[in-house]
Amino acid sequence: MAHVAFVFSGQGAQRAGMGQELYDAFPAVRSLFNRHEKHRRGTIEQCFEQGDQLKSTLNAQPCLYTLSLSTARALEAEGITPSVAAGFSLGEVSALAFADAFESDDGFRFVCARAQAMHDASLKRPGGMAAVLNMSPRDVEGLCKKIGGLYPVNYNAPGQTVVAGDPEALKQLALSAPLQGGRAMPLRVSGAFHSPYMLPAAHALEALLSVYTLSPPRLPVYGNLTAKPYGEDIASQLVQQVISPVLWQKTIENMIQAGAGLFIEVGAGTTLTGLIKRIDPRVAAVSVQDMRSFQEAVLLAKETKGA
């Protein structure tokens, strides 16, 4: 029997009005948004009404975390409990919170601090990111070394690797990739995430995590750093995660090998759903964004568990 997996969206998936239908329909969603609003005023307004403010890391991460976690809890309230989970970058924190690795509101506090630390690191050392298409990871790595100042940071799917680093080097990448049959697309992000540019953020998070109580997840949560389920080293992985590549393709391949057959993306957008279908077209994947897709996910999950 195939397992159900929850995958939690990362930064970049956010959009104005995301989750409004789910907020209106489900007490679990409203409850978490209202709780987080007390800790950080403006969370609800930014998510549902002020899409322009979601461009900032400071706002995007708390809003997307709240939506992802509350959607997952709403699904669980409908009887859909995943066997495994994973998240992309920020989404990994959401997955750990869903799996009760954080105590109560500590996950939200950590996300707010993580957003601030990454924002500050981006101001200290400005950088950018680009998605390189139609090239193998090895060729992308070689091109980064040749140009200099660039780092492969997201191994997303076959033919898609994201690179981060120096803005001028990214311009050179855009010129050089077509010579090897590829294409480099600039990403609208505020920093060179998951690269050495984020070292100041890693140092800040290391100090912060020392005051939190972290528990083993109640279900396997696959980490970006290793593409394997978390052990007891939760804090160290969360620190290393912000300066290390996201091994997304390997993560999904390992989850499928472990029995995952239906992936339900919680958060915003369909980015992870699209990547999963590129990684393995044989598995089912659906993104929950509104009532229609929520009901579709519930139906698919019940069919999967009953198969």
Do β-strands 221-222 and 183-186 pair in parallel, antiparallel, or remain unpaired? unpaired
**Among 160, 186, 212, which residue terminates a domain?**
186
Shared-domain flag, residues 132 and 111: no
Select from 307, 248, 304 the least CA-distant residue to 5. Answer: 304
Shared-domain flag, residues 36 and 107: yes
Examine residue 191 and state whether it is found in any structural domain, yes or no.
no
Shared-domain flag, residues 178 and 292: no
CATH number, domain containing residue 170: 3.30.70.250
Shared-domain flag, residues 98 and 147: no
**Across the 307 residues of the chain, what is the mean pLDDT of every consecutive 10-residue run?**
91 81 94 93 83 82 95 96 97 98 93 97 97 98 98 98 98 98 93 98 96 95 98 96 99 98 95 98 96 96 78
Contact 172, 145 (CB under 8 A): no
Global pTM value: 0.95
Contact 295, 275 (CB under 8 A): no
Q: What is the pLDDT of residue 220?
A: 98
Examine residue 89 and state whether it is found in any structural domain, yes or no.
yes
Select from 199, 198, 229 the least CA-distant residue to 216. Answer: 229
Q: What is the rounded distance in angstroms from the CA atom of residue 174 to the CA atom of residue 180? A: 11
Shared-domain flag, residues 98 and 139: no
Q: What is the rounded distance in angstroms from the CA atom of residue 252 to the CA atom of residue 271? A: 14
Q: What is the pLDDT of residue 138?
A: 98
Q: What is the rounded distance in angstroms from the CA atom of residue 127 to the CA atom of residue 121? A: 10
Q: How many domains does the chain have?
A: 2
Q: What is the pLDDT of residue 204?
A: 97
Shared-domain flag, residues 251 and 158: no
Shared-domain flag, residues 281 and 170: no
Element (H, E) at 269: none
153 burial class (0-12, 13-18, 19+ CB within 10 angstroms)? buried
**Among 186, 214, 236, which residue terminates a domain?**
186
Q: Which residues belong to the active site?
A: 89, 194
Shared-domain flag, residues 43 and 112: yes
Examine residue 263 and state whether it is found in any structural domain, yes or no.
yes
Contact 114, 242 (CB under 8 A): yes
Q: What separation in angstroms does the CA of 84 have from each of 2, 11, 67, 238?
A: 11, 21, 19, 18
Plot region of 79 (φ>0 → left; ψ -120 to 50 → alpha; else → beta): left
Shared-domain flag, residues 17 and 110: yes
Shared-domain flag, residues 154 and 54: no
pLDDT 10s digits, 223-244? 999 999 999 899 999 999 999 9
Q: What is the pLDDT of residue 45?
A: 87
Select from 228, 226, 283, 231 the least CA-distant residue to 260. Answer: 283
Examine residue 99 and state whether it is found in any structural domain, yes or no.
yes
Shared-domain flag, residues 43 and 70: yes
Examine residue 298 and state whether it is found in any structural domain, yes or no.
yes
Contact 86, 92 (CB under 8 A): yes
Shared-domain flag, residues 91 and 159: no
Q: What is the pLDDT of residue 244?
A: 99
Domain containing 143 equals 127-186
CATH number, domain containing residue 243: 3.40.366.10
